[in-house]
């Protein structure tokens, strides 16, 4: 195995590790954004239900 082949193997391993970390971070961020969107929708629904419940009692 010559020096060029060794650096190619090391480069491939480093590229795979970096890609693995980047994809992990990307999916973590996307999961957080998706979870945040679901929480916002549920909070809006709960807010509207509570507003309707309290406004009907006031009448």
3-class secondary-structure state, position 18: helix
Over the stretch 21-56, which tens digit does the pLDDT of each residue have?
A: 999 999 999 999 999 999 999 999 999 999 999 887
Question: b/e per residue, 33-58, with b = 16+ CB within 10 A?
Answer: eeeeeeeeeeeeeeeeeeeeeeeeee
The pTM (predicted TM-score) of the whole model is 0.65
If you ran DSSP here, which 8-state letter would residue 23 be given? Answer: H
- Encoded tokens for 53: 């419940």
């Amino acid at each position: 195995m010559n020096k060029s082949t060794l650096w190619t193997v090391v480069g491939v391993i480093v590229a795979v590790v970096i890609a693995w970390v980047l994809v992990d971070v990307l999916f973590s961020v996307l999961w957080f954004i998706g979870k945040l969107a679901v929480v916002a929708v549920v909070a809006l629904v709960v807010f509207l239900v509570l507003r309707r419940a309290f406004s009907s009692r006031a009448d």
